[in-house]
């Protein structure tokens, strides 16, 4: 039974690709195509493109990604805890609580260090 469910998901993944692909291909065959040099330029407010695309960007993006990583790992571990929670005793709450608060401490540390300021 359980395997059947995954067959369905697999079939879904196999078929889902064709849904966006079909209109894009239909568009490719139906629409006129007259490429020109100017048309294929990179768009920039109507003026000619200035400089390189790979501009320098803010370091904040990395910091947020790092904080996210901490929580992401936490949540993967919390899902089994939540599923089994009803069958476990009060100790499960204590263990989970300590685990979550330890990670929250990481957020507080980042907060105090100013990693959450967008300046």
Partner 1 sequence: MTFIEEILREQLGLSADLAALLIVFGGVLVVATGGLLTPIITIWLERKVAARFQDRIGPNRVGPLGLLQTIADVLKLLSKEQITPRDADKVVFFLAPILMVVSVVTMFAVIPFSPLAIGADLSIGILYAIAVSSLGTIAILMGGWGSNNKYALLGAFRVIAQLLSYEVPMILALLVPVLLAGTMSMQGITEAQANIWFVFFVPVAAVVFFISSTAEVGRQPFDLLEAESEIVAGYNIEYSGMQFAMFYLGEWLHAVVICLLTAILFLGGWQGPLVNADNVIGPILGMVYLIAKTTLLYFVHMWIRFTVPRLRIDHLMAFNWKFLVPLSVFNMLIVAFIWKLFPAPEEPGFVAELPRALGVLVGNIALVAVTLSLLQGYATRERQKVEGLVDETLYDPRAPRVAASATD
State yes or no: residue 59 binds partner 1 (CB under 8 A). no
* CB of 70 closer than 8 Å to CB of 103: yes
Q: Is 20 in the site for partner 1 (CB under 8 A)?
A: yes
Q: Does the protein bind partner 1 through residue 5 (CB under 8 A)?
A: yes
Please tell me the count of residues contacting partner 1 according to CB under 8 A. 71
**67 exposed, middle or buried (CB, 10 Å; 0-12, 13-18, 19+)?**
middle
Q: Per CB under 8 A, does 77 bind partner 1?
A: no
**Packing angle of the helix pair 18-30, 2-16 (nearest 10 deg):** 10
SS3 107: helix
| 56 is a contact residue toward partner 1 (CB under 8 A) | no
Residues 98-117 touching partner 1, rule: CB under 8 A, are: 100, 104, 107, 111, 116-117
56, 59, 61, 112: which one contacts partner 1 (CB under 8 A)?
61
Q: Which is nearer to partner 1, 37 or 48 (CB)?
A: 37
Q: Contacting partner 1 (CB under 8 A), which of 47, 48, 53, 112?
A: 53
DSSP conformation class of 53: S
What's the closest the beta carbon of residue 80 comes to partner 1, in angstroms?
9
The candidate with the shortest Cα–Cα distance to 81, out of 70, 69, 97, is: 97
- CA–CA distance, 102 with 107 (Å, rounded to integer): 9
68: its two tokens: 């996210």
Q: How far is the CB of 87 from partner 1 (least distance, A)?
A: 7
């Amino acid at each position: 039974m359980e395997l059947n469910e995954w067959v369905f998901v697999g079939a879904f993944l196999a078929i889902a690709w064709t849904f966006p692909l079909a209109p894009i291909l239909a568009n490719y065959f139906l629409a006129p195509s007259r490429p020109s040099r100017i048309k294929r330029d990179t768009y920039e407010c109507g003026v000619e493109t200035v400089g390189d695309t790979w501009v320098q960007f803010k370091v904040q993006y990395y910091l947020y990604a790092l904080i996210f990583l901490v929580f992401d790992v936490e949540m993967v571990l919390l899902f089994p805890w939540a599923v089994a929670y009803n069958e476990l005793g009060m100790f499960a709450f204590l263990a989970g609580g300590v685990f979550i608060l330890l990670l929250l401490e990481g957020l507080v540390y980042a907060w105090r260090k100013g990693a959450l300021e967008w300046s």
